[in-house]
Structure 1
Amino acid sequence: MSELSTVLRAWRERTMPEEVGLPAIPGRRTPGLRREELAALATVSVDYIVRLEQGRARHPSAQTVAALARALRLTGEEVDHLYQVAGLASPSANVVPQHISPGVRRMVDRLGDVPLAVFTATWDIIHWNGLWAAISGDPAQRQGVDRNVVWRHFTDDFSDVSYDDVHHEEFSDDLVADLRAAHARYPDDRSLRDLVTRLRATSADFDARWGRVSMSVHKSSRKVMTTSAGPITIDCDVLTAPGSDLRIVVYTTVPNSQDEQRLELLRVVGTQTLV
């Protein structure tokens, strides 16, 4: 067996279901995660996990390795090793990190009763819970640049989100400022450079804001989400973890309100469409 198949199986078998937000099943004979559980967490096929562990697939993409590392909650050193045995260069300090540390994972798990998602410094979504998918649309149905908040904001304008003109201006400026700060911190990140180039060519609004070189920070905001349960007014807060560029976005509703009731309905039905 290859080193890749050996470490992948060992790390899968040591990862307990409850560590990754799955229910613990008494008496299960499989140590750690089942292959289908890891596949679901990393959004790859079960067959591909089998082939990796049997040594029949030896060259996963960097995107797949990053997804496996997040699903298995690897430490920084373990992430580097997984990249190396997969035949890939480890992410450098000059490239936007996509790894979610075990500590951030645990914090996210404990906030599971609210819509929540984790984003990189460039606003690529890399982790979300079921309630986030129910209220915002399932990110698993989007690929590539369509998972980036800045791209969608300036090219799609999030038709399912409503906010006043003042907030629209502030949010637009905040996103451009975030991307500029990331561009300065991670000069070797080709994907980031390509994103900025595409945005400037596609969106005159983004290009104008980029040229103004304004810096700003995110503030708490209130917006209305159009959902299958009806419109829901939510408060949006952006949290950060010490020593990390990750952004944790949390949605909450006013207690005992109609918005809270509609959010609770979404918790039950998930991403199903209500008739």
Structure 2
Amino acid sequence: MILGVCQFDAHRAQLKNLASGEQWQLPRAELQVLKLLLAHRGCVVAKHKLGAADEEHPLLSDSSVTRAVFMLRSFLGTEHEHLIETVKGRGYRLREDTKTFKPKWLVMPKLKAVLAVLMLGFTVLIMMVSLDQYKGADESTEALNSVSLQLSSGQTLNLMSFSKSKTNNEPLLVLVEQLKAGFKQCHSTPWQQVYLSLSHDKQVFNITMKGEKLGQSKIRNLKLTDYRQQKQFISQAWLDEVDICE
């Protein structure tokens, strides 16, 4: 099934960006929501139906469904996030007019080399922009802390936190320890480098994970928001939903 520039493999529970080659192994919530939207393509599906329990999994909360839709849209990208529509007060709908992705080099072989070079440059640019939140253009942002964690499999994972404001140092370091505790539950993980930052107002927690799986490089960006006075970005429920161990 083609969704914008992505191909969905239901058997492998995987979304693959056909332009960049990036693959995303869908966590349970995202997989369930996408399957149900596809099964009812063109129709509105209520949140409680998207989060319904089954024989193997418990009920998903409305917030888990909302987060799953957000993550799916993020992977589809800004040009195709509109494929999943929000119908206010009713639920979500997957548009019927999902276009088939046809790389230009399949139609015009002579452009393959040129497009490959352009795609490489674009990929490098995206990686630079993704990490720009941690490394400012003026290079004034330095790593606040770097932590190495060894999993039970023997794998080493590096967590690096970046802060532009000293007022964020303490809460950011607390979040690093919470995420570190979450990774300790993993026997192994495809991620090797994890970059963390907290917005100046402490309302947005950014996580970028880089790694490799089956010989292919992977990047996953997570953006957590919490506008409450007493914030809780990371919880066991969140760790289970996001499945950082994969």
TM-score of Structure 1 vs Structure 2, range by shorter chain: under 0.3
Q: TM-score, normalised by structure 2?
A: 0.27
Higher strand share: 2
Where is the helix percentage greater, Structure 1 or Structure 2?
A: 1
Q: TM-score, normalised by structure 1?
A: 0.25
